[in-house]
Chain A
Amino acid sequence: MDASLLTIQPASAEPIYRQIVEQLRRLIAGGQLPPGELLPSVRDVAGFHAVNPMTVSRAYSLAESEGLLERLRGKGMAVATTRKTSQTQTQRMALLEPQLSALARQARELELPAGPVVQRLSKLMGE
C-alpha cells in the first residue's frame, strides 16, 4: 500500500487519526487492502501528508487493537490475516451508521417522511 492511498483533511472536525482508521477500515472491508498487505511506515505517511508522526502511530495502534492490522516483526504493520476477509453484513452496515444518522437528521430538518427518502436511496443504489 502506498501512503498516497490515504486522504487527509486537516480542517475536518474528525481528528486525523480517526480519518486514517476509518479509511483503513473501509479499504480493508472493501477488499482493496488484502490480508497480509504491508502498510507504509509511519514516517512515509507522516512525510507524504506533512502530519505529525504521533498521529499516524496512534491510528495504526488503534487499528491494531481493533484487529484490522497486525505488527509483523521487522517488517512493520500489515493487514491482519487472522481475520475473516469479508465482514458480516452487520459489521459493514455499522460502517455506514454515521452517514445514515446525518441523512436522517437532514431529512427531519427538511420535514421529509421516510418513504420517499428510502425510495430515492434505493434508486441511487441501483435497485
Chain B
Amino acid sequence: MVISGMIKILIENLSLQYSDGKESLRDINMEIPANAITVLFGPAGGGKSSLLRVFNRLNDLADVKLISGRVLLDDIDILDPKIDVITLRRRVGMVFARPVVLPMSIRSNLTYGLELTGEKREKILSEAVERSLRQAALWDEVKDRLNEPAVSLSGGQQQRLCLARSLVLMPEVILLDEPTSGLDPISTGKVEASLQELKQGYTIVLVPHSVQQAARVADVAAFFLQGELIEKGIGKELFINPKDKRTEDYIMGRFG
C-alpha cells in the first residue's frame, strides 16, 4: 500500500531473535514510504522498537541470536554485514524516548556528529547548528545560549535538541522511539508540529507513546503484536475502521 511515489524502505521476510528471547520479530513484510510519517504502534513487547533499531543497525549493540530477511534502504540491503554501518547511521537518524543530551554545550551537542566526519570548518558547523535548530523549532529559544550546557534546558527543549541533533547530518530517514513520552502536552505538540513540517523532506518512522498520538500524526499506520505485523492502513483508516479484531481491541483500550 503506497500513498504517493517512492518507497524508502522495503522490508522482506524480516525475522529477528535476541539471545534472551525478548522482543523478537516474525516474518515482517512492509513498505515505508518516503516523505511521510509511518507509525508503528502496539502494546509493549510487540517488536516496534526492535524494528526501529534494525533500520540504523543499532541492534548490533544487543545480543542478537538470529536475523534473517532483507531490509532495503533505497536499493541497499542494510542487513548485509559488508555495508558500512557508519555511513548508514548518518543516513538514518534516531531520537530516543528519554532526551539524552551529551554532557556538552548545546552547540557541541549538535556539532558532535559533524565533527566525527572530520568537518572542522566553523562556517559549515555554524550553519548546520542554525539550520537544525530551526527545523526543530528550537532556534529562537536557544540562539543566545548556544554555549551553555545542554543539561540546563528543560525536558521538552532537550528532546527538541535531540531532534535537531538527528537532523544535523541531513539524514534521509528519521527514527523516533516514543519521543514525547516524558513531555508535557505543549512540548509534545511542538514536536508533532515539527514532524509534520519535516516529513516534506524526510522519511519519518515513529513509535508513538499512545494510540491517540498515532492517530494524530500517522500517514501510514502499522499495528504490531508480539513480533508480528497484524495490520497496516493509510491515514486514520486503521483507527476508524480496523479490519482485525486484535487491532480493534487494542485501539479500544481493551488491552494494552
A, B assembled together = no
Chain B contact residues, CB within 8 Å of chain A: none
Chain A contact residues, CB within 8 Å of chain B: none
